[in-house]
Amino acid sequence: MEHKHHKKLKLIVILVFILLALGEVLLYRRTLELNKMVSEGLMQLKEAQKTPQTTTPTGIKQ
């Protein structure tokens, strides 16, 4: 009886580690995607600062 208990416990521990590893991979991929989006946004801000935009007297950008 005790031998079966140890096998089940080992299986559960292994499955938990596999799930944790999968979660880490998914978080890593999402972090990369988020960093890419932030980087692209910062590049757009830099480009917007380099090219001066003219405004009309009403404050509307052309």
Q: What is the mean pLDDT of residues 16-25?
A: 98
Residues 6+ positions from 10 with CB-CB distance below 8 Å: none
Model confidence, pTM:
0.59
Q: What does the alpha-carbon distance between residue 8 and residue 40 come to, in Å, rounded to a whole number?
A: 48
CB 62 within 8 A of CB 54: yes
Distance in angstroms (rounded) separating the CA atoms of residues 44 and 47: 5
On the question of pLDDT at 62 being above 80, the answer is no
Instruction: List, for residues 25-34, the tens digit of each pLDDT value.
Output: 999 999 999 9
Residue found by looking up tokens 């991929």 in the block = 29
Return all residues near 56 (Cβ < 8 A) that are at least 6 apart.
Answer: 62
User: Which of residues 2 and 38 earns the better pLDDT score?
Assistant: 38
